[in-house]
A and B are shown apart, each in its own frame.
Chain A
């Protein structure tokens, strides 16, 4: 088949909402876009382990400690299946990790902010996982099969994490004055970075149009951001804490909340590497990788010796 008819067949599948599978022909740019997006997502999962792992040793009760361990472990698991989905597109996990370490590949900027109090464990679950779910639920219908299937599992666990985060916030908000202050402070620090998780405005987004055409993306950044604000404002009211945006108010005509201007200068600065923890996060990943090199070599060497022995026997 010539390229033209392969392309037509591919576009037909996309139009008919038929999943593209690893062995199917696909345009180079579709493949590249998927590798970029899925690996970025995988990296976000494993870099995202760090800010929360920061509070495991200090979790205030055994129940919270166990939940924190389980949550961070889930994220590692998400990283695993997303790296596997990426490998079906013909790129090795090791290469993807190199790209993360060199700064070539990105991860969600939200994880470049520090976790300063226990309330951040609540705020991350409630807001960051909440925003992630908004982004990710539509991806369960993404056109690429392995990605869509990985996302089904990811989303189930994320919604559990979101409820768990909200429950941490609720406990704090029902607690002492100091605990409530902790919760408000966490909301103040995580609110705007959470809105930034949806990416640049539709006008400024370079990838949206093509990704929507390919069925990799189903809603625009601004649509998802609005959905998130609409869902989250009543939750903040329920908690009795205040979203740090004086322009946030219900717009009867639009049937949505209006909200203030995002500080895009901060957003692009963090993406460029100037966030409070960009260096620490990448350094932590690199040092885990570098310090683990001898372990990976030992495992490979032992496996080889073992298979030689078995072959000789």
Chain B
């Protein structure tokens, strides 16, 4: 391994995409409206595609002859570096939407900034992913507004979703050591610089949705350094089943 910090930095983002893509894929065939079933599958597909670009780069940095799948499939929970938000259960449609919205408000500004990375490979991943993230935030933001403003029931469900997930919003834009170092070295994003834009976007959309922005700034954290919620183990049990049951085969 030539650069452990960069490897971990790349892995954080790879794991975010994979775990959120995995979660969204659970909706496939069960969506509330056929068009939205397609939209969620489509976003899941985008995220898995992004995860692949990240893992392929991680494998190159690691330089031990491993494939994208070796890295994606063969770690235990403590080795995953995704934020806690993305492993949270789908819940009802409101919860899925709000989880997506919190991720999208982060990812579209993150990718926008990463396009200026001193690392060309990261800049290229960012350019491709940013286009997708803009579509995702349009979709999740529109649904936050629709559900918040829709009926009494949908409003109440959105309020519950915001309460449920708000404490996972902070981890996304609070740098851990890896991110701080990556920024110092010029290839990583300065999260403090995107915080303001992100917060403003959340406020704008929640206000239009007739929802209140919670005052609490308490943030659950640890996911980026491998300390996860109980949910991740079950996600990995599904994800890794075949690779673990029949090690080392071609599929």
- Residues of chain A touching chain B, judged by Cβ–Cβ distance below 8 Å, are 46, 49-50, 53, 56-66, 69-70, 72-73, 76-77, 79-80, 83, 118, 171-172, 174-176, 178-179, 284, 287-289, 291-302, 305
A297/B151 in contact, CB under 8 A: yes
B239/A57 in contact, CB under 8 A: yes
Task: Give bound CA distance, A128 to B174, whole Å.
Answer: 49
B32/A295 in contact, CB under 8 A: yes
Q: A53-B29, A72-B41 are in contact. Are A295 and B48 (CB under 8 A)?
A: no
B153/A69 in contact, CB under 8 A: no
Please name all residues of chain A whose beta carbon is closer than 8 Å to the beta carbon of B239 when the two chains form the complex: 57-58
A292/B31 in contact, CB under 8 A: yes
B153/A294 in contact, CB under 8 A: yes
Please name all residues of chain B whose beta carbon is closer than 8 Å to the beta carbon of A172 when the two chains form the complex: 251
Please name all residues of chain B whose beta carbon is closer than 8 Å to the beta carbon of A292 when the two chains form the complex: 31-33, 93
Q: Say what secondary structure dominates the interface of chain B.
A: helix
A69/B48 in contact, CB under 8 A: yes
Please name all residues of chain A whose beta carbon is closer than 8 Å to the beta carbon of B150 when the two chains form the complex: 297-302
**Cβ of B249 under 8 Å from chain A:** yes
Kindly name the residue among A62, A118, A172 whose own CB sees the greatest number of chain B CB atoms within 10 A.
A62
B251/A288 in contact, CB under 8 A: no
Q: A77-B38, A297-B153 are in contact. Are A58 and B32 (CB under 8 A)?
A: no
- Residues of chain B touching chain A, judged by Cβ–Cβ distance below 8 Å, are 18, 21-22, 25-26, 28-38, 41-42, 44-45, 48-49, 51-52, 55, 68-69, 72-73, 92-93, 145-147, 149-151, 153-154, 157, 235, 238-239, 241-243, 246, 249-251
A298/B151 in contact, CB under 8 A: yes
Please name all residues of chain B whose beta carbon is closer than 8 Å to the beta carbon of A174 when the two chains form the complex: 250
Task: Give bound CA distance, A213 to B241, whole Å.
Answer: 52
Task: Give bound CA distance, A60 to B157, whole Å.
Answer: 35
Please name all residues of chain B whose beta carbon is closer than 8 Å to the beta carbon of A58 when the two chains form the complex: 238-239, 241-242
For the complex formed, measure the closest distance between the CB of B155 and the CB atoms of chain A, giving whole angstroms.
Answer: 8
For the complex formed, measure the closest distance between the CB of B225 and the CB atoms of chain A, giving whole angstroms.
Answer: 24
A297/B154 in contact, CB under 8 A: yes
Which are the 9 A-B pairs with shortest beta-carbon distances?
A: A292-B32, A298-B150, A298-B154, A60-B251, A53-B29, A60-B242, A295-B32, A49-B29, A57-B238
A118/B251 in contact, CB under 8 A: yes
Nearest opposing residue in chain B for A298, CB measure: B150
Please name all residues of chain A whose beta carbon is closer than 8 Å to the beta carbon of B72 when the two chains form the complex: 62
Please name all residues of chain B whose beta carbon is closer than 8 Å to the beta carbon of A70 when the two chains form the complex: 45
Task: Give bound CA distance, A50 to B30, whole Å.
Answer: 8
Please name all residues of chain A whose beta carbon is closer than 8 Å to the beta carbon of B44 when the two chains form the complex: 69
Task: Give bound CA distance, A300 to B250, whole Å.
Answer: 48
Task: Give bound CA distance, A162 to B216, whole Å.
Answer: 52
